[in-house]
């Protein structure tokens, strides 16, 4: 994906940074260097009548290190989710840092409440532990010193993260924990998600109202816009989470073989581009067409744009298999895969239409948007 860098990879899990993360990284570095550290140093020296000389450069370096430690803390919170997810059998695609923090993108939703509970609880516990650790570390430095004020701030921030994330609205960690508990007691995943998402959207609305109030009563506009954005994000993802849960419930026990259609629009690999165009197949709305050999094995995919680029004089001696691109495995699906998997893959890999391949033979196609629209089987 563009605007994203894979920084490193631990046991198959990529750690990636979004371009948007640079904005928040720069902002945290700037704020710590120009305001948080100098203000806290001033407060400490006022209280203890000690003093510290810190040059502009020292403050900026301290801001940079603090900011790096802050985002490392967020990364550790997400890594805790990821490690436990993998341990309980859920693959983790990647951990991503972006403008609103971090996210561990797991391969599928937990299938049992206990699993969701443990995967979730370790995140806030990690933040709380880091909070305690930084505060203990801060105590080892003189009160009027850069390490003391930065460690204290890092400790407080981690504790704030732990508490904020434990608010009981889905998709915050606290909301997931609430869902897992209601799910465990009622046995009803959808109702549990409904309750946790409702609280999540309510929290989102509350943050939006608070942000607007802050904005009108002047305060800091950066902070109020931030509150508004977080509120909106929470509100929309709570609603999205409920929709996902409803879909998941509806698609339970439905397989690709139940929904695919056999009209693949396939063309024979030994036909020529000339014949293909004479039959008018290049402008009948298909952007791509599978190319198959005489026994039905997929030989490639014909892309209409490529066809247009073949010179007229070469069309009669260019075979469709020569004009075709090789098949991208991401666009193939087994009829025995679950529909839920198909949707997840469509979302993650940006595939709209899968070719259904069974024992090497092309047997059909499934258009995920189409299935979503039809909605019943």
Residues that bind Zn ion (CB under 5 A): 123, 173
Q: How far is the CB of 165 from Zn ion (least distance, A)?
A: 5
C-beta of residue 133 within 8 angstroms of C-beta of residue 54: no
DSSP-derived secondary structure letter, 150: H
Q: How far is the CB of 81 from Zn ion (least distance, A)?
A: 6
Structure-block tokens of residue 349:
């890999």
How far CA 274 is from CA of 54, 269, 277, 317, 322, in Å, comes to: 77, 13, 5, 8, 13
Q: How far is the CB of 311 from Zn ion (least distance, A)?
A: 57
341/330 Cα distance (integer angstroms): 12
Shorter beta-carbon distance to Zn ion: residue 44 or 173: 173
Q: How many residues comprise the chain?
A: 377
Shorter beta-carbon distance to Zn ion: residue 103 or 212: 103
Shorter beta-carbon distance to Zn ion: residue 122 or 333: 122
DSSP-derived secondary structure letter, 151: H
Q: How far is the CB of 179 from Zn ion (least distance, A)?
A: 14
C-beta of residue 365 within 8 angstroms of C-beta of residue 263: yes
How many CB atoms neighbour CB 350 within 10 A? 9
Shorter beta-carbon distance to Zn ion: residue 175 or 364: 175
Strand partners, 96: 16, 103
Q: How far is the CB of 255 from Zn ion (least distance, A)?
A: 32
Q: How far is the CB of 354 from Zn ion (least distance, A)?
A: 32
Q: How far is the CB of 8 from Zn ion (least distance, A)?
A: 21
How far CA 23 is from CA of 99, 100, 260, 300, in Å, comes to: 7, 10, 44, 43
Structure-block tokens of residue 57:
């450069």
3-state DSSP assignment of residue 275: helix
Task: Evaluate the omega torsion of the peptide bond into residue 250 and state whether it is cis, within 30 degrees of 0.
Answer: no
Q: How far is the CB of 164 from Zn ion (least distance, A)?
A: 10
Looking up tokens 């603090």 gives 66
Nearest partner of 40 among 54, 27, 26, 57, judged by Cα: 54
Shorter beta-carbon distance to Zn ion: residue 59 or 130: 130
176/158 Cα distance (integer angstroms): 19
Strand partners, 291: 267, 300
Shorter beta-carbon distance to Zn ion: residue 116 or 173: 173
C-beta of residue 169 within 8 angstroms of C-beta of residue 199: yes
Q: How far is the CB of 231 from Zn ion (least distance, A)?
A: 18
> Closest residue (Cβ) to Zn ion?
123
Shorter beta-carbon distance to Zn ion: residue 85 or 356: 85
C-beta of residue 116 within 8 angstroms of C-beta of residue 110: yes
């Amino acid at each position: 994906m563009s605007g994203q860098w894979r920084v490193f990879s631990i046991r198959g899990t990529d750690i990636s940074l979004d371009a948007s993360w640079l904005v928040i990284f720069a902002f945290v570095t700037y704020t710590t260097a120009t305001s948080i550290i100098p203000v806290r140093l001033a407060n400490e020296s006022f209280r203890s009548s000690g003093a510290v000389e810190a040059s502009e450069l020292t403050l900026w370096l301290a801001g940079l290190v603090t900011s790096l430690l802050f985002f490392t803390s967020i990364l550790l919170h997400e890594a805790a989710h990821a490690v436990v997810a993998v341990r309980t059998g859920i693959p983790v695609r990647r951990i991503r840092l972006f403008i609103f923090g971090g996210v561990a993108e797991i391969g599928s939703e937990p299938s049992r409440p206990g699993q969701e509970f443990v995967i979730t609880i370790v995140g806030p516990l990690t933040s709380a532990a880091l909070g305690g650790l930084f505060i203990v570390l801060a105590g080892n430095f003189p009160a009027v010193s850069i390490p003391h004020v930065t460690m204290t701030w890092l400790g407080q921030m981690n504790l704030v993260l732990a508490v904020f994330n434990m608010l009981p609205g889905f998709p915050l960690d606290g909301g997931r924990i609430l869902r897992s508990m209601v799910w465990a007691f009622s046995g009803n995943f959808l109702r549990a998600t409904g309750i946790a998402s409702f609280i999540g959207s309510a929290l989102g609305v509350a943050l939006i109202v608070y942000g607007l109030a802050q904005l009108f009563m002047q305060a800091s506009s950066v902070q109020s816009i931030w509150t508004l954005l977080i509120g909106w994000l929470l509100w929309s993802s709570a609603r999205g989470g409920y929709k996902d849960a409803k879909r998941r419930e509806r698609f339970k026990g439905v397989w690709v073989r139940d929904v695919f259609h056999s009209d693949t629009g396939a063309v024979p690999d030994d036909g020529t581009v000339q014949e293909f165009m004479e039959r008018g197949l290049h402008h009948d709305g298909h952007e791509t067409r599978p190319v198959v050999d005489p026994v039905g094995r997929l030989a490639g995919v014909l892309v209409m744009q490529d066809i247009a680029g073949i010179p007229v004089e070469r069309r009669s001696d260019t075979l469709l298999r020569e004009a075709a691109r090789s098949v991208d495995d991401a666009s193939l699906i087994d009829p025995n895969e679950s529909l839920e998997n198909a949707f997840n893959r469509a979302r993650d890999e940006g595939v709209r239409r899968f070719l259904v391949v069974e024992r090497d033979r092309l047997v059909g196609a499934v258009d995920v948007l189409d299935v979503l629209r039809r909605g019943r089987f």
